[in-house]
């Protein structure tokens, strides 16, 4: 079955290949070669998203992972000590998401060597997940599957994302009028005052159990002795409820507009559709299948709500029910990132249970 030694070696090999977001060419090539070696042809799109079909019986399922890693992620030197795999402390390890990638590759290898019956697999490996969600450019019309699994939720194996937030990034420009602050300040319209008044009236941070709002970027002003003509703010609003998310955005826009107009200024409010949320019924067949697979590897499920974006959001938005599992790494996106050999093996066993 799962060959732990080979799995670890695959993982080590993968993390040693530099693949910061947007620079995935080498790892795409390496993985395609690995698949080719077991007789599987892959299609790579113009940015590097990779599709591989593995024949099987019954309804097809998508297995998904992403190739890219965050910085500092170059020249990763993995080391294994007391059953834990870490970097040398200068870079991330890249278990996000190469633990999933290694586990999936191991399972595909196992299937190629055995007569185990399994579902047809559509392997979709994405690029730029950490930055601009490269999966957006993938041709979903390719896919036969109605469901799928990915392993890109931080946290222990057993975690299962059944709710993910709708997230919208907004950009706000408050425009007033510049004037010399010492000579004729009354001729100016202070954009910062309007923005500050609006900020103070609104709620930020955790709004309720399922929603958050934040302004994270502030820019503005021209000189210490000039009434600030323009202030730019950018932030995001997140909620499991699409309605709440939209209501929060509406309130932000309205409040800034009101405060700008009181002073004689104006605003420009722009929104980017960042990612779509989803909610799974915990009694649905797919969730039951996931819980059962976790049970088989000795893990109790913990349903969680995700407030970040992942490929799963996009699959779900495109009509493929995609469940996102915890993959058992710790301290991800830091140089202290680590995963145990035990979790790496458990992850491979989980992948196998899900497709047989
Ligand atoms: Zn990830």
C-alpha 153 to ligand 1 mean position (Å): 7
Nearest in space to 266 (alpha carbons), one of 194, 342, 317, 188: 194
- CATH class of residue range 4-164+277-355: alpha beta
Residues 20-45: what's their mean pLDDT? Answer: 97
Residue 20, CA distances (Å) to 3, 40, 75, 302 in order: 28, 26, 11, 31
- Indicate if the pLDDT at residue 1 is higher than 90: no
Residues 94-103: what's their mean pLDDT? Answer: 98
**Topology agreement, domain 4-164+277-355 and domain 166-275:** no
Is-contact 21 94, C-beta < 8 A? no
Q: Domain ranges in the chain?
A: 4-164+277-355, 166-275
**Which band of pLDDT confidence, cut at 50, 70 and 90, is reported for residue 87?**
very high
**ipTM attached to this prediction:** 0.97
Residues 124-129: what's their mean pLDDT? Answer: 97
- Indicate if the pLDDT at residue 162 is higher than 90: yes
C-alpha 113 to ligand 1 mean position (Å): 29
Contacts with 283 (C-beta within 8 Å, 6 or more apart), sequence order = none
- CATH class of residue range 166-275: alpha beta
When the pLDDT of each residue in the chain is averaged and rounded to a whole number, the result is: 96
User: Quick one: pLDDT at residue 254?
Assistant: 98
Nearest in space to 327 (alpha carbons), one of 103, 36, 25: 103
**Which band of pLDDT confidence, cut at 50, 70 and 90, is reported for residue 307?**
confident
Residues 71-75: what's their mean pLDDT? Answer: 96
pLDDT tens figures, 276-300? 899 999 999 999 999 999 999 999 9
**Which band of pLDDT confidence, cut at 50, 70 and 90, is reported for residue 132?**
confident
The residues carrying an active-site annotation are 68, 129
Task: Give the torsion through C-alpha atoms of 302, 303, 305, 306, to 10 deg.
Answer: 70
User: Quick one: pLDDT at residue 280?
Assistant: 96
- Indicate if the pLDDT at residue 274 is higher than 80: no
Is-contact 164 240, C-beta < 8 A? yes
- Indicate if the pLDDT at residue 72 is higher than 90: yes
C-alpha 97 to ligand 1 mean position (Å): 5
d(CA 106, CA 100): 10
C-alpha 14 to ligand 1 mean position (Å): 15
Determine whether the annotation assigns residue 66 to a binding site.
yes
**Which band of pLDDT confidence, cut at 50, 70 and 90, is reported for residue 112?**
very high
User: Quick one: pLDDT at residue 308?
Assistant: 78
């Amino acid at each position: 079955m799962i060959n732990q030694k080979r799995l670890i070696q695959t993982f080590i090999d993968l993390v040693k290949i530099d693949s910061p977001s947007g620079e995935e060419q080498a790892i795409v090539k390496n993985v395609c070669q690995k698949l080719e070696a077991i007789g599987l042809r892959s299609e790579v799109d113009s940015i590097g998203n990779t599709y591989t079909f593995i024949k099987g019986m019954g309804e097809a399922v998508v297995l998904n992972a992403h190739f890219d890693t965050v910085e500092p992620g170059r020249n990763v030197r993995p080391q294994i000590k007391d059953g834990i795999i870490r970097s040398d402390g200068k870079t991330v390890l890249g278990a996000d998401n190469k633990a999933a990638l290694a586990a999936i590759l191991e399972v595909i290898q196992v299937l190629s060597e055995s007569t185990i019956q399994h579902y047809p697999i559509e392997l979709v490996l994405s690029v730029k997940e950490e930055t601009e969600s490269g999966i957006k450019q993938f041709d979903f019309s390719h896919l036969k599957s109605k469901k799928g699994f990915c392993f890109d939720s931080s946290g222990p194996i057993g975690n299962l994302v059944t709710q993910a937030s709708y997230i919208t990034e907004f950009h706000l420009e408050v425009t007033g009028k510049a004037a010399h602050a010492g000579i004729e300040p009354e001729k100016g319209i202070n954009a910062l005052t309007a923005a500050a008044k609006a900020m103070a009236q609104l709620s930020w941070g955790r709004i309720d159990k399922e929603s958050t709002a934040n302004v994270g970027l502030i820019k503005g002003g021209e000189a210490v002795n000039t009434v600030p003509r323009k202030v730019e703010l950018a932030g995001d609003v997140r909620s499991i409820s699409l309605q709440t998310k939209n209501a929060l955005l509406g309130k932000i826009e309205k409040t800034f507009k009101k405060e700008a107009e009181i002073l004689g200024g104006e605003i420009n409010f722009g929104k980017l559709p960042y990612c779509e949320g989803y909610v799974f019924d915990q009694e649905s067949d797919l969730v039951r299948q996931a819980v059962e697979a976790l049970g088989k590897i000795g893990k109790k499920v913990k349903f969680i709500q995700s407030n970040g974006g992942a490929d799963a959001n996009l699959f779900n938005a495109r009509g493929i029910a995609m469940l996102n599992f915890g993959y058992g790494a710790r301290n991800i996106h830091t140089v202290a990132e680590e995963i145990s050999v035990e979790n790496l093996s458990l992850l491979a066993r989980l992948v196998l249970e899900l497709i047989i």
